[in-house]
Structure 1
Amino acid sequence: MEKKKIVIIGAGFSSLSASCYLAKMGYDVTILEKNKHVGGRAQQLHKDGFVFDMGPTFYWMPDVFDKFFNDFGKTTNQYYQITKLDPGYEVYAGVMNSICIAANFDTIVKTFEDKEKGSGKKLKSFIADAEENYHLAIKDLVYQPGENIFEIITPKTALKVGAFFSNIKSQVAKYIKHPELKQILEFPVLFLGAKPETTPGFYNFMNYADLKLGTWHPNKGMHQVAVGMANLAEELGVEILCEENITNINLQDNKVTSVATLNDTYTCDVLLSGADYHFTETLLPKKYRQYSEKYWNSKTFAPSALLFYVAFDKKIANVSHHTLFFDTDFSEHAKSIYDTLTWPEKPLFYASFPSITDDYFAPKGKEAGTFLIPIAPGIEDTPEIREHYFNIIIKRLEKITNQSIAPFVTFKESYCVNDFKEQFNSYKGNAYGLANTLLQTHILRPKLKSKKISNLYFTGQLTVPGPGVPPAIISGEIVSELIYKNK
C-alpha cells in the first residue's frame, strides 16, 4: 500500500519535530524550507572566524529535548553535546552590581537570603509550587491539542484554578520584596512573550525550569540542536529540501491537492504548515481563511527584537555567558512593548557571550557577543534607529561593567523587525509568536487543524502550546498525533 504523502512548510523546530513523528507513523514526509538552512530562527552567522547564534540562545527544559530523542530510541548526545552553565546567567541592576544565578539551587537560595533576610526559605516554597505546576504542565497540559477546554480542566488543575486567574507579578510579590530578586523571578515569563502582570501565575513553572533544571549550552550553539533533529528526520526517511519558497497552496473544493514553490509543484495528501500561521493563510482564498486581519491585529503578540552580532578584538571582563542588563525600569520597557508600541527610551537588554564557554564561537583571545533588546512588533525599523540603540547599549555595557569596549568592536551585524518579516514572513516582524496570556491560552489560541480545509494543519509558536523552543518541539508532536488520529 502506498504511503500517504505529507508536505511540511518550513524547517523550524516544530516542523522538524512533526516530521520525525510522522515518518515514524509511516507517512512519506517532505519538508519545504524557504531559506538555505534548517532550524528557522535558530540559524547562525559565520564571519571572520566568529560564529553567532542568530535566534534562540537559552537551552532550558532539557527534559523536553531528552524526551523527543528518546521517543525514537535515541539520546541527545548522539546528535549534540550539552554543558550545564555555572552561573546559568548573571543579572546586572547597576554599575558593577550584579547577581549570579548559580547552577546549584542551594547556592541560589543563599544568594537570595544574602540580599533579603528570610527570602531563601520563601524561594524554596515558591519553587516547590512551581515544580508542582511544571510536572502538571509537562505531564497533563502542554501535550494537549487545544480542541476542547476539558483537556485542561481536570481534578488536578481544578486545585490550581487560583493560579490561572492570578498573575506572575502579584504571585512573586507575595514571596519576595527585594526589587532585584523580584526581577529575577519575573524575567523568565518574557520567554512566554507577555508582561508578568498579564501572565497567569500557573506559568511560574518557568521559574522551576530556570532555577532547578538549570541553563545549558549545546556545544557549537542552538543551531546544532536543529541540525541534530534534521539528521534524525533524514534517518527516518524525511526529505528536507531547502531554498523552496512556497508561492501557492492549490485546492480542490475544501482540500489541499498540492503546493507550488518557485521551483516545482509538490502533491500531498496532508499539508502541515510550520511557517507563520497568518502568512500561510494569506496563500489561501479569503473564504478558506479561518482568521481575519482584524483577528490577528487584536491579538497580543510576543515581542520582536533588535539584535546585534558583535565581534570584539579582546575578551570582555565582568560578564557571564548569559548576562541580563536590568539596570533600567522593567515595567517602563514592558509598557513600550505592549501598551504604547514605541521604541523604549531606556531599554533593558540581554547579552550572550558564548565564546566564554565554547571556543567554537570566536578566535583565541577574542569574544563573540549577541545583544538583544525586546521591542514591540510592527514598529519602525531603520538603519539610523538600529545605530542609535547600538550606541546606547555599548555605552551602558562599558559603564556597567567598568571597561572600555567600543574601540574593540571589529564588526557588527544587526537583525530586526524588517528582517523577521522578510526572512520568515513573520506577522508584524514578531520574534517569538503569540503571547501566553490567559485569553490566549490553550483553546483560545489558533487551532492546529484548519476548520475550513480538511487536510490542512498548523504547528509552531502561533498555535499550542506557545512560544519557545521546547513548546515548538512539543507542538510538532501534538500535531502529528492529531493528523494520525484524523487519517
Structure 2
Amino acid sequence: MKNTIIIIGSGFSSLAASCYLAKAGYKVTILEKNKTIGGRARQLKKDGFTFDIGPTWYWMPDVFERFFSDFNKKPSDYYTLDKLSPAYSVYFGKDDVITIEDSLEKICATFESVEAGSSTLLRKFINNAKENYDIAIKDLVYNPGVSPLELVSLTTMKKLNQFFSNVKSDVRKAFSNDKLAKILEFPVLFLGAKPSNTPSFYNFMNYADFGLGTFHPKKGMYQVILAMEQLAHELGVTIKTDAPVEKISIEKGNIAHSVVSNKTVYNADIVLSGADYHHTETLLDKNYRQYSESYWNRKTFAPSALLFYVGFNKKIKNVEHHTLFFDVDFDVHAHAIYDRATWPEEPLFYASFPSKTDSSTAPTDKEAGIFLIPLAPGLEDSKELRDAYFSKIIRRLEELTSQKVTDSILFRESFGVNDFIKDYNSYKGNAYGMANTLLQTAFLRPKLKSKKVKNLYFTGQLTVPGPGVPPSLISGKLVSELITKHHPIVNN
C-alpha cells in the first residue's frame, strides 16, 4: 500500500487532519517536536493549578460538533461543556464595567441601559451577522482556497459590498456610544487584524459572540486536544512526541519521500505539515520553497502575545471568567502592533480566571489567572520587559477592581515572543498566524497544497481558512479532502 502519511505537528489542524485521513484508510503518523501534543494549545500544571497555555475561548460550538459528527461522535462523548454566564466583562475604567450576559435578550437590555435605542440597532446588526455566519461557516470556509470562484454564489454576490467596507466603519455608523462600539469591534481581533482592516463580512464573529455564546470545557481547552487525541488513536493514528523534524527530503519528480527526525528517517508517500508554514519551507532545499522571505515579510501577521500564568493564594474579586481591560486607548495600542511594531506604552490586556467557573483549575480558595497582552510579532523580548509589563497590568488590575493582589501571588510563569519561536518555530513569534485582511482571505492565503512538491501539503493558521481554533479544525478537514482527491488509496 502506498498510503503512508507523515504529519508534522500536533495542533488542532494536524489532529483533525489525522482523524479524517485515518478514517479514509491512510496509515498516519504524527511527529510532534514538544514533549506534549497540542501545538499552541498545550497545558501548564503547577502546584495544583492548571492553565491553558494557548487558546482559552471556546466559540462556534457548531464547528466542534460538526467535526465530531463526521466520526459519528459528539463533543459530550469526550468532554463536558458549560455555557458561561456571564460570557465576559469589559472594564473601561474604575467602576465602569459592561458585562456581556449569556443571551442576546440580556445583551440587548445591557446595550439599551447604556444607550437608548441601541437595542433595536443591535438586533438588526446581529441579524446581518447571523446571515453572514450562515454563509461563512456553513459554506464559504469549507472551501479549500484553490480558486476565486469559491467565493462566487448568489448569496455572496448579494454581500459583495461587505468585502470592500470594514467592520469598524459599519459599527461606528450604527453605534454612537464608543464603549458599545468597542465591544462590537472586539470579536474580530480573533481574526488577527484591526477592525478597520477587517472586511465587514467578518462581522459574523459578532453572531458567534452574542448569538451563540461563550463556552468552557471543564478542565480547560486542553480537554478538546485530549478528545481529538483519543479519537485519533481510536482510528489508528500513531503519535510520537519529542520528535522535531529537521528535514523534508525530495526525490526526482519533485516528490517528498521522507522526513528526518532525531536522525531517524520516516518514509512517506505524503507529507502534511501543521507546523508553521514558513518554518516548514525552511526544511526544504531552496528550490522547492514556494514563498520567498520577502513574501512573508510583506504579509500582515496576526499579533504575538505576552502571557502570564499566575497562581493567587486568594479569590480575586470583581472579575469574571473572561475579563477585558479596555481602559486605555485601543487605537494607540493597535497602532503599536500593526503600524509601528513597538511595545505599547499602556497596553490593553485580557485576563482569564478559569477557577471562577471551574474548580479543577485551582486549589480551594485560590485563583488561577491567565493574562494576555497582544503585541507586534518580532519584538525584542527580555525578562526585564516581561517584568515591567507584568507590573503595568497588575497595577491596573488592582486600581480598576479596587483590591490588592500583588502580595497574594504564589508564582507566575510567562510566555512571549521568544517562546513562540522556540516552542512552535513561529514566524517572528506570531501567536495567531496570518491576519484575515481582504488581501489575505480565502484563495489569497498560502496554499494548502505545495505548488512545487507534488505530495507536500500544509494546514493550520497560516493557510486556509485562517486564525483561530474552529478555522484550524476546518483547515484539517479541507487538507484531508485535497489529499484524498489527489492521492486516492492504492492497494497493491
After TM superposition, list the pairs within 5 Å mapping 1:279-428 onto structure 2: 279-428=279-428
Partner deviation per Cα, 1:50-98 (whole Å, 9 max, x = no partner): 1111100000000000010010000101111110000100000000211
Inter-partner Cα distance in structure 1 for 2:38 and 2:152 = 34
The 3-state SS of whatever aligns with 1:174 is: helix
Partner deviation per Cα, 1:144-201 (whole Å, 9 max, x = no partner): 0000000111111000011110000001012111111011000111100000000000
Partner deviation per Cα, 1:336-357 (whole Å, 9 max, x = no partner): 0000000001100000000001
Inter-partner Cα distance in structure 1 for 2:264 and 2:285 = 21
Quote the residue 2:440 is aligned against.
440
Which amino acid counterpart does residue 364 of structure 2 have in structure 1? K
1:17–1:229 CA contact under 8 A, matched in 2: yes
Inter-partner Cα distance in structure 1 for 2:434 and 2:270 = 25
Inter-partner Cα distance in structure 2 for 1:53 and 1:94 = 28
- The reply to whether residue 154 of structure 1 matches residue 144 of structure 2 is no
Inter-partner Cα distance in structure 1 for 2:105 and 2:83 = 16
Quote the residue 1:450 is aligned against.
450
Which amino acid counterpart does residue 93 of structure 1 have in structure 2? F
Inter-partner Cα distance in structure 1 for 2:367 and 2:90 = 19
Which amino acid counterpart does residue 301 of structure 2 have in structure 1? F
- The reply to whether residue 31 of structure 1 matches residue 47 of structure 2 is no
- The reply to whether residue 231 of structure 1 matches residue 220 of structure 2 is no
Inter-partner Cα distance in structure 2 for 1:38 and 1:222 = 13
Aligned residues: 486
CA displacement at 1:263 relative to structure 2: 4.7
The 3-state SS of whatever aligns with 2:363 is: coil
Inter-partner Cα distance in structure 2 for 1:453 and 1:263 = 23
The 3-state SS of whatever aligns with 1:436 is: coil
Quote the residue 2:490 is aligned against.
none
Inter-partner Cα distance in structure 1 for 2:357 and 2:26 = 40
1:140–1:152 CA contact under 8 A, matched in 2: no
Partner deviation per Cα, 1:299-355 (whole Å, 9 max, x = no partner): 000000000000101000000000000000011100000000000011000000000
The 3-state SS of whatever aligns with 2:249 is: strand
Change (3 A) 1:288 1:3: closer
* Greater shift in the superposed pair: 424-433 or 150-159: 150-159
Inter-partner Cα distance in structure 2 for 1:335 and 1:462 = 22
2:80–2:218 CA contact under 8 A, matched in 1: yes
Quote the residue 1:144 is aligned against.
143
CA displacement at 1:9 relative to structure 2: 0.2
Quote the residue 2:125 is aligned against.
126
TM-score (norm 1): 0.99
Quote the residue 2:83 is aligned against.
84
2:58–2:215 CA contact under 8 A, matched in 1: yes
CA displacement at 1:272 relative to structure 2: 0.3
Partner deviation per Cα, 1:413-463 (whole Å, 9 max, x = no partner): 000000000000000000000000001001110000000000000000000
2:2–2:269 CA contact under 8 A, matched in 1: no
Inter-partner Cα distance in structure 1 for 2:331 and 2:485 = 44
The 3-state SS of whatever aligns with 1:271 is: strand
Inter-partner Cα distance in structure 2 for 1:140 and 1:228 = 26
Inter-partner Cα distance in structure 1 for 2:137 and 2:76 = 22
Quote the residue 1:214 is aligned against.
213
Inter-partner Cα distance in structure 1 for 2:387 and 2:84 = 32
Inter-partner Cα distance in structure 2 for 1:405 and 1:177 = 36
Inter-partner Cα distance in structure 2 for 1:233 and 1:16 = 7
1:244–1:263 CA contact under 8 A, matched in 2: no
Which amino acid counterpart does residue 159 of structure 1 have in structure 2? K
Inter-partner Cα distance in structure 1 for 2:70 and 2:239 = 21
1:309–1:412 CA contact under 8 A, matched in 2: yes
The 3-state SS of whatever aligns with 2:92 is: strand
- The reply to whether residue 47 of structure 1 matches residue 54 of structure 2 is no
2:79–2:223 CA contact under 8 A, matched in 1: yes
CA displacement at 1:139 relative to structure 2: 1.7
Quote the residue 1:200 is aligned against.
199
- The reply to whether residue 65 of structure 1 matches residue 64 of structure 2 is yes
Inter-partner Cα distance in structure 2 for 1:479 and 1:177 = 43
Inter-partner Cα distance in structure 2 for 1:348 and 1:45 = 24
The 3-state SS of whatever aligns with 1:318 is: coil
CA displacement at 1:3 relative to structure 2: 5.5
Inter-partner Cα distance in structure 2 for 1:120 and 1:16 = 41
Quote the residue 1:11 is aligned against.
10
Quote the residue 2:241 is aligned against.
242
Quote the residue 2:255 is aligned against.
255
Which amino acid counterpart does residue 128 of structure 1 have in structure 2? N
Which amino acid counterpart does residue 245 of structure 1 have in structure 2? P
Deviating beyond 3 angstroms after TM superposition, the runs of 4 or more aligned structure 1 residues are none
Change (3 A) 1:360 1:3: farther
Inter-partner Cα distance in structure 2 for 1:96 and 1:459 = 44
TM-score (norm 2): 0.98
Provide the alpha-carbon RMSD of the alignment. 0.6
1:166–1:201 CA contact under 8 A, matched in 2: yes
